[in-house]
Amino acid sequence: MGNPAVFSVAAQCFAGMDEAGYAELTAPEVWEGFVEGLGASVEACASDGRSGACWIDALKTPPSFADYDGFCRCHFTGGLPGSALPVESLYRPDAAPDAARGAGYGAEPARYMEELIERMGFSLPPAYRAWPDHLALELDMLAVLQRSGYESEARSFLSERFGWLADYRRRLACLDDPAAPFFVALVDALIGVAGGEAAKAASVAADSCASGDVSA
Q: Which long-range contacts (CB under 8 A, 24 or more apart) does 113-122 make?
A: 113/88, 113/137, 113/138, 113/141, 116/141, 117/141, 120/144, 120/148
**Number of other CB atoms surrounding residue 87 within 10 Å:** 30
Amino acid 215: pLDDT? 43
Q: Which residues of 142-179 are buried (b: 16+ CB within 10 A; e: fewer)?
A: bbbbbeeeeeeebbebbbebbebbeebbebbeebebeb
Amino acid 45: pLDDT? 58
Q: Do residues 180 and 71 lie in contact, with contact meaning Cβ atoms separated by under 8 Å?
A: yes
Distance between CA atoms of residues 13 and 86, nearest Å: 11
Whether 114 maps to a domain, the answer reads: no
Q: What is the pLDDT of residues 51-100, one digit of tens each?
A: 445 677 788 899 999 999 999 999 998 888 889 999 999 998 665 544 44
Q: What is the pLDDT of residues 114-137, one digit of tens each?
A: 999 999 999 999 989 999 999 999
What range does the domain containing 52 cover? 4-78+149-215
If one counts the domains in the chain, the total is 1
Distances (CA, A) of 93 to 125, 137, 170, 177, 216: 24, 20, 17, 28, 40
Q: What is the pLDDT of residues 161-214, one digit of tens each?
A: 899 999 999 999 999 999 999 999 999 989 888 876 666 655 555 555 555 544
Amino acid 92: pLDDT? 84
Amino acid 138: pLDDT? 97
Q: Do residues 140 and 8 lie in contact, with contact meaning Cβ atoms separated by under 8 Å?
A: yes
Whether 131 maps to a domain, the answer reads: no
Q: What is the pLDDT of residues 18-60, one digit of tens each?
A: 999 999 999 999 999 998 888 877 776 554 444 445 677 788 8
The residue type at 173: A
Whether 41 maps to a domain, the answer reads: yes
Whether 20 maps to a domain, the answer reads: yes
Whether 138 maps to a domain, the answer reads: no
- DSSP readout, 91-103? GS---STT--S-S
Amino acid 97: pLDDT? 45
Whether 84 maps to a domain, the answer reads: no
Give the phi and the psi of residue 204 in degrees, each rounded to 5: -65, -45
Whether 207 maps to a domain, the answer reads: yes
**Closest among 135, 202, 193 to 164, alpha carbons compared:** 135
Whether 66 maps to a domain, the answer reads: yes
